[in-house]
Structure 1
Amino acid sequence: MSLSPRFIAVILAFLISLITTTFLAFVDGVSKGMLFVSAISSFISSFFLVLYAVDILVFREVNKMYRTIHKLKMRDFNMAPRKKLIRESNPLKTINDEIFVYVTKKQKEIDELKKLELFRREFLADVSHEFKTPIFAAQGFIHTLLDGAMDDEKVRERFLRKAANNLDSLDVLVKDLLVLSQMETGDIKMNIIPTDLRKLTLGIFSRLEHIAKNRNVSLKVKPDDMPEVWIKADADRMEQVMLNLIENAIKYGHDNGKVIVHFSESKKYIEVEVKDNGPGIPHEHLNRIFERFYRIDKSRSKEIGGTGLGLAIVKHILNAHDTKIAVMSKPEKGTTFSFKLEKAYHQQLPEAKTDDVVNQLNP
């Protein structure tokens, strides 16, 4: 029921009139006419007094507060249409609802800002640490050479190579940070063309063959009855995605293990899975492995190498392809990264190389 000021005034005036008339009825010598006049006069006077008290002193002040909150809410959140809110005739209930909604949303904003602040502090600490290691190492080698080690030809060459390796690592880190920043701000545009993902994967296997041999890890593409896997994607960026996932599977898996890239197709999509039979990822880390610089085992990650940005870049590249990456892992049973990409329908030209076909499809 809508509790308007007039409705409240009528109810209260009627009750006051009823009580007054009831008391007068017990007084000797009071006639029915007098009771009627008393009832009417008390009702009218009570009605106007209550209406003034409720409407002027309460409702109008509350409405001012409501309009202020409403303006703030409309500006901050673009909430429900103004007409719908103003039709509410009980400002006491409305202002309570508005304050609750407004405070709830502001609290969410505050919580989000706290998370961002914590993330910013962690990111700055991680960046400082990642930059410090190669810079200090290269600085140490160069200062050692300047202090006299330069005269020894063998020491000079060895120290210069180590300094160069550390500076190369720093260069890779800066490039990854730049790519990640451009991804997050949308500065990098995807060049979507038909791409044979199976051929691209086999090319990555060739590039990583020496790493796999060092750990005796077998690399396999399945199924065998899919000689071509055509998708709509940015070929360069998808190569970056597959390189990161396959290289991680080799480096963080067991020696004498295996890495399988599995393709399956539906009516509209190709599903890609990169599997290994390594030690797996503990459950408490699964939600954070796509964060920048997040490492599960920091000591082992340092030995293996890498910038700690690979999976973050993978996530952003796949998001730019309107898809998401998922991960499933069980201790000592391996890890599987999976995602879906839209199929590309391709008719291969006779006696044409795949690269030539791609060039013809994307002049």
Structure 2
Amino acid sequence: MQPKFKKSYKFAINTSLYITIYVTLFTSVFLYAFYSFNTKFILLLAFSTYLFSFVVIQFSVERFIYKRVKKIYDDLTLLESTSMTKGTITTDMKTLTEEIDKFARDKKIEIESLKVREQYRKEFLGNVSHELKTPLFTVQGYILTLLDGAMEDKNLRDKYLERASKGVERLGYIVKDLDMITKLEVGDLSLNQEVFNIVELVKSVFEMLEMKASKKRITLTFDADYFTPILVNADKERIQQVLANLIVNSIKYGREKGTTEVSIENLIKNKVIVRVTDNGEGIEKKNLSRIFERFYRVDKSGSRKEGGSGLGLSIVKHIIEAHQEKIYVESEFGVGSEFSFTLEKAK
């Protein structure tokens, strides 16, 4: 739809007033000096000068400015998506300047946002390429070695096949976790919310990871005895995944004979907060702001020895945010870490 034209009379009014004052004063002095002074004539002259000046200036300004302003609106096709095309075209320079400044600021923010996204996209593609390349080369190396003759040695064959299998398993982790994050981001992964006892869920995760923890002699425990159920409303399967990821991380980066402790506390009337605390190696401050990014690793070498996709904490964050809840992290390097998240209490 063609924008409407909004007139502005301020410039014409002020300019006509200045012209009228000048002409009237000049004529008055001239008449007083050379002829007889006539008050009615001076008033008529002032009125006619003002009216004539106003009409001429306003008409000229409208044609001059409107043509150029309209061309700005027509030429800047990017403005079609902004509120400027929905409003009126104005000859008021202050209003026009404010609109153009606002448009420029909005576009600057949009461009900066696109630059950040572009940088993130480059980093993400680089990380995906690197993470997929490592297990692929591993599997390819072992298979080529077997094809080159190592298959004849039964012990070597079994060992290499087992290592190739782990590489394929790692590829599976990465693809599965990437698929889940994508679905969470676009909202395709629906949550199956139900009421369940969070204490029992933590116990089941402890049992599931008991053997993994025992290899490093890490104790999985609650901070206190929970004799009564604590009921929450959430997707039980996804919250189990959150707890498993957090506890696996605490074991992975925990110290020998360490402890992973889970506590569940009332936060506000309708919220509980679940804390997963360990006395492991901790996280340096420079890494805290990035630990929920995809593929970001605090310990590049250690995490690969333990396997996984490098997407665990990113998935945790997406699941919690899909529940409209918050996740927090506190850590002191060399002392330990605490990850906590909120959940809605069942009514």
**TM-score over 0.5 (shorter chain):** yes
**1:354 aligns to what?**
none
SS of residue in 2 equivalent to 1:344: coil
1:263-302 → structure 2 map (5 Å cutoff): 263-265=264-266, 266-302=268-304
* Structure 1 residues 39 and 330, CA gap change in structure 2 (3 angstroms): same
**1:350 aligns to what?**
none
**2:81 aligns to what?**
76
* Structure 1 residues 149 and 236, CA gap change in structure 2 (3 angstroms): same
CA–CA distance in structure 1, aligned partners of residues 180 and 46 of structure 2: 83
**2:248 aligns to what?**
247
SS of residue in 1 equivalent to 2:339: strand
* Structure 1 residues 41 and 194, CA gap change in structure 2 (3 angstroms): closer
Q: Does 1:205 align with 2:206?
A: yes
CA–CA distance in structure 2, aligned partners of residues 250 and 93 of structure 1: 63
Taking structure 2 as the reference length, the TM-score comes to 0.88
Gaps of 5+ in 2: 1-7
Whether the 8 Å contact between 1:292 and 1:308 is mirrored in structure 2 is: yes
Q: Does 1:20 align with 2:20?
A: no
Whether the 8 Å contact between 1:12 and 1:50 is mirrored in structure 2 is: no
Of 17-26 and 107-116, the range deviating more from structure 2: 17-26
1:115-264 → structure 2 map (5 Å cutoff): 115-264=116-265
Instruction: Write the deviation string for residues 178-201 of structure 1: whole angstroms up to 9, x where unpaired.
Output: 111111111111100112211111
SS of residue in 2 equivalent to 1:336: strand
Give 1:336's aligned amino acid: E
SS of residue in 2 equivalent to 1:27: helix
- Deviation, 1:57, is 2.1
Whether the 8 Å contact between 1:70 and 1:98 is mirrored in structure 2 is: no
Give 2:50's aligned amino acid: F
1:3-82 → structure 2 map (5 Å cutoff): 4-25=10-31, 27-32=33-38, 35-36=42-43, 38-58=45-65, 60-61=66-67, 64=70, 68=74, 73=79, 75-77=80-82
Give 1:114's aligned amino acid: K
Whether the 8 Å contact between 1:223 and 1:263 is mirrored in structure 2 is: no
Give 2:62's aligned amino acid: D
Question: Which residue, 333, 340, 344 being the options, matches 1:342?
Answer: 344
1:283-322 → structure 2 map (5 Å cutoff): 283-322=285-324
Instruction: Write the deviation string for residues 106-125 of structure 1: whole angstroms up to 9, x where unpaired.
Output: 11111111111111111111
Whether the 8 Å contact between 2:327 and 2:341 is mirrored in structure 1 is: yes
Whether the 8 Å contact between 1:12 and 1:47 is mirrored in structure 2 is: no
Gaps of 5+ in 1: 346-363
Whether the 8 Å contact between 1:280 and 1:334 is mirrored in structure 2 is: yes
Of 317-326 and 300-309, the range deviating more from structure 2: 300-309
CA–CA distance in structure 2, aligned partners of residues 185 and 159 of structure 1: 39
Instruction: Write the deviation string for residues 237-277 of structure 1: whole angstroms up to 9, x where unpaired.
Output: 11110000011011112222211111012421121111112
What count of residue pairs does the alignment treat as equivalent? 338
Taking every aligned residue pair, what percent have the same amino acid on both sides? 36
**2:328 aligns to what?**
326
SS of residue in 1 equivalent to 2:34: coil
CA–CA distance in structure 2, aligned partners of residues 38 and 193 of structure 1: 86
* Structure 1 residues 42 and 30, CA gap change in structure 2 (3 angstroms): farther
